[in-house]
Structure 1
C-alpha cells in the first residue's frame, strides 16, 4: 500500500472510495516516542488521540483526503512549561495545516506559473481545488531558488505604475536569470544591494546618472558598461531635438536640381498625389488652432529668454515638457506641415474614374451608380469630391450663381507645404547607414544636407552610430581597443562643430566616458534585463491587481 500511497512516518490502515471522485486514506503514526517541541525531552506517555484530515495529492484522477489518527503525549520534563504536545509528522504535513506538504508545494508551483485566479480555475480540474487567496499564500511560502554569487549583472528600471512608481530589476547576465527586484530606482537602494554582493565585477546599465552613482557607491571597483542600444537611442533623440529647432529652416531649402523638381506629368496613373480639399469650416478651425499654438510658442519663448526654467513654464502653461522644450529651442514657429493623401475607399477605383473622365463623362451621380455595380461601397459624395478636383471649368449644367465660387484663401493658414518628414521620422533617416536607405530616403537626406549645420549633424550622427554598431560585438570581455581612439576623435570634432545639440551630446558622453568606452570594447549590455522586464510585465498582468512587490518578486524569481 505504501508503494502507491507513500506516507512518511505513518502506516496505512485502509483506502476507501467515499464518492466516485474522492479517495479516503486512513493512516496513523508509527513512532514509539516523540520529542517535546519546547525542551526536546522524549516521551512515551500517551495523553490522548485525535484525528486530522489534511488533503493530499490526487490519485487516479480522484481527490485524496487523509484521515490521520495521531497521539498527544505528556511532557515528562518537570522544568518544561508545556504539559502536553501533539505528535508531529514533518515529512508529511505541517502543524495545523489543512493540506500535505507535497500538495501545498504543487499548488504553489501552479500559482507561480499562472497566478492566483487562473490557478484557482485550473486546480479543480486537476482534483486539487483551492481558492485564489490560498494559492497566493502558497506561492509566498515556496522557498526562493538559491543563486550563486553573481559576477556580471545588468540593472534596469521597470514600472509598477507607469509614470508614477518605478522599481529596479537586477539580472545575472552570465546565467541569464533575475537575481532581485528592488522597490525603487534610487542610488542608495542599488548601492545597498551591491554591497551585499561583493563579487560583482561588471554592471551593465542604461545612461541613468542615478544608477551610475549607485554603482560607484556600492561597487566602486566594478566596471560600468553603458548599454549600446541606449547610446544609439540617445543620439537619435539629440538629432530629433536639433531638427525640432531647425525644421522650419530646412523646409525652406530650395529643391535639388534633377531630384526634387520633377515634372508633375510624371505622376503615376491611377494614384492621388494630394489630400482632398478641406471645407471652409475645417480651414477656419485649422487656422484658429495654428493661432493658439503660435501664441503659446511666443509665450514660451518670452519666458525662456528671461531665464524661467522649462519645468516652471510647463506647469504654468499646462504644456507637456517635451512641447515646452521644442518651442524653447525652435528658431521659428514650428508650423504643421501639409499632410499627404491618406488611404481612401475610392483609391482602388481612381484608374477607372480617370479613364471615364478622359472619355468626356463628368456626371458624378452616373459614375457613382456604375461604380456601385463594380463593388464600390462609398457614397456619391466621395465620387463628386474627387471629380471636382479633376474639372478645369464648371459643368455645363452649373447654375450661373455658382460658376465663379469664392476661393478659400490658403494663405490664412499656417501650413507649410514642403514635403519634408517631421523631426521624428527625419531623425531616423539621418542616423541610419546610407546602405539601408531607399532611393527616396537618400534623396531626402541629400535635400536636407544643403543646410551646413544639417550636413554636420548628419555626418556626426552617422559616424557615431556606425562606431557603436560595429564595436563590442567580438564576444570577448577583452576586445581590442580600436574604437577608443575613434571615439576620442569623434568627441573632439563634435565639441568643435558649432552645433549646440552635438556639443551637448558629446559633453554627456564625456561625462559618462568610462562606461561608454566599456560599451565599445566589452560584449555586455542590458538587453537581457529588457527581456526579463517583458516577462515581468506578463506576470504582473496575470496577477489581476494582486501584484504587490513581495508577491511579484517571488513569482519572478521562481520563474527564472
Structure 2
C-alpha cells in the first residue's frame, strides 16, 4: 500500500513551531496489521522539514504520522498495540505462536518487551478494597493483590506482603471505607495503620474453614468415641496371643510403610531429646514442619497408623458393619451376603464382598469394619443436617449419643453456621462464651483467635462484603505466572494482571 501525508506542515519536536518548508523526502516501509489473511507493508513517503526558528537546536526533522509511526519503528502503532494485547493475554511463547497464525513473525522475547514498554497503569482509589496474598515462589516469596470489591477488578499488586507496604498504599488513598481480608495478622496491622477510618471485614469462607479445621481436630481428640459405630467381634482363643501382640499396630513389623514411620518417629524423638528444635529437625531431615509436628506429638508410632493413612474409601465401607453382624450370626456365604446388601443400596461388585469375607475367613486377626476417619465424622457435623443421607444421620446420632463432647461440638458448629448464613454477627459474643464453657480445647484456641479480631469477624458476619473475588484473582495470577515459565518479574506480572481486559 502506497501512503503519503497530505498535511501542509508538521510540528517541530524541538520548539513546537509549525514549519511548512520541505527539505527532502524518503520512503519508509513499516509493517501493518494483516488484512484478509495477507501481510500488509506500507510504502510510506515521509518528508523532512526545515525548522525556521533560529533558537531551535534542530535544523531539520522528519514528520511522524500520529497513530501510525514512531522514530526508528518498523511496525505501525496499530500492529504494536495488537501484539502488546496478544502479549497481555498469552505472554511470550503462546503470543508468538498466535502472531505467526495471522502472518506476523515475532519472537517471544519481543512480545514480552512490547508488554513491558506499555505505560504503567495508574491504580484507582476504590471505596471497598479486598486484600490477599499471592505466591511468586510458594512457601518462600509472597506478594499482595488488591481488588476493587465493587467493580471486581484488580487495582494494584505489591511486591511483598508486609504490613508496612499495605499501610503505605492505603494511606495514599483516604477514600477507602471497607477493607476485606483474611485473618492474617500482617494484613490486619497494615489496614489498621494505613486506613484507621475503614471498616475491616474478615472473610466468611476463611472463618468457616478455620472452624472446620478446629472441628476435625476435636473429633480426632475423641476418636475413641467413634468405636461405637463398629460391632464387637469375639476373638478366637487360638489367636488371642497374636491379637494382643499386634492390637496396638495395624501393620506388623516388616511392613514397608510401618517400618518407615517407626524409623522417622525414633529419629525425630532422638533429636528432640538431644535439644534440637522442631524447625532445626525440619531442616536436618528435609521434612515439612507439619510432618515433624505429627511425629513429635505422637508418643508412640502406632498413633500415626490411624485415620486416613490406613483407610482408603471403598463402596463397601458403610455396609461392613452389616456384614460383620451377619458374620457373627454365622452367615459366611459371600454370595448370599452380596445379595442381601444390594437391596440396601450397595453399588459395588460381588468380588469386593468376596474379598472382604475371604479376609475375615483367613486372617489370624479379627477383621471388622474400622471406625470412620475423624475427617469423615467432621464432615457429617459440618454439613447441613437435611442434606445428610439417612445412614450418615444415624451414624452421627450414634456417635453423639456416646460422646457428650462431640455433641457439644455439633451444637456449636451448627449455631455458628446459622450465625454465618443468616448474617447475625451480633450473636458472636454469646457464641464465644458458650464455647468456653465446654471442654473443647481446639474450639478454645479458635475462640481466642476470633476474640483478638472480634470487630473484623463481627463485620464479616454482618456485612455483605467478602474476599471471594480476591481469591478468584489469586487463581488468575497463578495462571498468568505459569504462562511465562519463570520469566515473570514483578513489573511484567503487574502489567499483565492490571491491564488485561
Give the TM bin, normalised by the shorter chain: 0.7 to 0.9
Q: Offset of 1:317 from its aligned partner?
A: 6.0
Q: Which residue of 1 aligns with 2:213?
A: 237
SS of alignment partner, residue 34 of structure 1: coil
Q: How high is the TM-score relative to the length of structure 1?
A: 0.71
Q: What does the per-residue CA deviation read over 1:505-540, in whole Å, with 9 as the maximum and x for residues that have no partner? A: 111111111111101110100001111222222222
Q: Offset of 1:329 from its aligned partner?
A: 5.4
Q: What does the per-residue CA deviation read over 1:133-159, in whole Å, with 9 as the maximum and x for residues that have no partner? A: 222222334456777531111111112
Q: Which residue of 1 aligns with 2:303?
A: 334
Distance change >3 Å, CA 459–CA 322, structure 1 → 2 = farther
Distance change >3 Å, CA 297–CA 490, structure 1 → 2 = farther
Rg comparison, structure with higher value = 1
Q: How many residues align?
A: 454
Asked if 2 retains the 8 angstrom alpha-carbon contact of 1:420 and 1:444, the reply is no
Q: Which residue of 2 aligns with 1:519?
A: 460
Q: Which residue of 1 aligns with 2:478?
A: 537
Q: Which residue of 2 aligns with 1:546?
A: 487
Matched, 1:323 2:264: no
What is the distance in 1 between the residues matched to 2:269 and 2:225? 21
Correspondence for 1:458 among 410, 414, 423: 410
Q: Offset of 1:318 from its aligned partner?
A: 5.2
444-453 vs 163-172, greater mean Cα deviation? 444-453
Matched, 1:217 2:186: no
Distance change >3 Å, CA 330–CA 515, structure 1 → 2 = farther
Matched, 1:59 2:32: no
Q: Offset of 1:541 from its aligned partner?
A: 2.5
Distance change >3 Å, CA 452–CA 290, structure 1 → 2 = farther
Matched, 1:483 2:420: no
Q: Offset of 1:202 from its aligned partner?
A: 0.6
What is the distance in 2 between the residues matched to 1:115 and 1:355? 60
Q: Which residue of 1 aligns with 2:392?
A: 441
Q: Which residue of 2 aligns with 1:365?
A: none
Q: Which residue of 1 aligns with 2:152?
A: 176
Q: Which residue of 2 aligns with 1:69?
A: 45
Structure 2 residue runs of 5 or longer lacking an equivalent are 235-250, 317-332, 339-348
What is the distance in 1 between the residues matched to 2:450 and 2:356? 54
Larger helix fraction of residues: 2
Q: Which residue of 1 aligns with 2:231?
A: 261
What is the distance in 1 between the residues matched to 2:398 and 2:354? 37
SS of alignment partner, residue 63 of structure 1: strand
Distance change >3 Å, CA 312–CA 39, structure 1 → 2 = same
SS of alignment partner, residue 35 of structure 1: coil
Equivalent residue runs for 1:159-558 within 5 Å: 159-247=135-223, 249-250=224-225, 253=227, 255=228, 260-261=230-231, 284-285=255-256, 287-289=258-260, 291-292=262-263, 295=266, 310-312=278-280, 314-315=282-283, 319-326=287-294, 334-337=303-306, 339=311, 354=334, 389=359, 419-449=370-400, 450-471=402-423, 482-484=424-426, 486-558=427-499
Structure 1 residue runs of 5 or longer lacking an equivalent are 1-24, 265-279, 345-352, 359-375, 393-406, 472-481
What is the distance in 1 between the residues matched to 2:353 and 2:383? 41
Q: Offset of 1:116 from its aligned partner?
A: 2.1
Asked if 1 retains the 8 angstrom alpha-carbon contact of 2:28 and 2:43, the reply is yes
Q: Offset of 1:96 from its aligned partner?
A: 1.5
Distance change >3 Å, CA 424–CA 543, structure 1 → 2 = same
Q: Which residue of 1 aligns with 2:8?
A: 32
Q: What does the per-residue CA deviation read over 1:386-430, in whole Å, with 9 as the maximum and x for residues that have no partner? A: 8965868xxxxxxxxxxxxxx86x69xxxx977233333333233
SS of alignment partner, residue 43 of structure 1: coil
Distance change >3 Å, CA 517–CA 288, structure 1 → 2 = same
515-524 vs 142-151, greater mean Cα deviation? 142-151
Asked if 1 retains the 8 angstrom alpha-carbon contact of 2:4 and 2:46, the reply is yes
What is the distance in 1 between the residues matched to 2:164 and 2:95? 37
Q: Offset of 1:234 from its aligned partner?
A: 0.5
What is the distance in 1 between the residues matched to 2:76 and 2:84? 12
SS of alignment partner, residue 175 of structure 1: coil
Q: Offset of 1:105 from its aligned partner?
A: 1.3
Asked if 2 retains the 8 angstrom alpha-carbon contact of 1:236 and 1:431, the reply is yes
Distance change >3 Å, CA 287–CA 557, structure 1 → 2 = closer
Q: Which residue of 2 aligns with 1:107?
A: 83
Superposition RMSD in Å: 3.8
Q: Which residue of 2 aligns with 1:126?
A: 102
Distance change >3 Å, CA 341–CA 75, structure 1 → 2 = closer
Distance change >3 Å, CA 98–CA 149, structure 1 → 2 = same
Distance change >3 Å, CA 39–CA 159, structure 1 → 2 = same
Distance change >3 Å, CA 73–CA 219, structure 1 → 2 = same
Asked if 1 retains the 8 angstrom alpha-carbon contact of 2:268 and 2:281, the reply is no
What is the distance in 2 between the residues matched to 1:521 and 1:175? 21
Q: Which residue of 1 aligns with 2:321?
A: none
Distance change >3 Å, CA 127–CA 284, structure 1 → 2 = closer
Q: How high is the TM-score relative to the length of structure 2?
A: 0.78
Distance change >3 Å, CA 300–CA 170, structure 1 → 2 = same
Q: Offset of 1:250 from its aligned partner?
A: 3.7
What is the distance in 2 between the residues matched to 1:140 and 1:357? 69
Q: Offset of 1:453 from its aligned partner?
A: 3.0
Q: Offset of 1:174 from its aligned partner?
A: 0.8
Q: Offset of 1:553 from its aligned partner?
A: 1.8
What is the distance in 1 between the residues matched to 2:337 and 2:133? 61
Distance change >3 Å, CA 383–CA 155, structure 1 → 2 = closer
Asked if 2 retains the 8 angstrom alpha-carbon contact of 1:244 and 1:329, the reply is no
What is the distance in 1 between the residues matched to 2:79 and 2:256? 67
Asked if 2 retains the 8 angstrom alpha-carbon contact of 1:241 and 1:501, the reply is yes
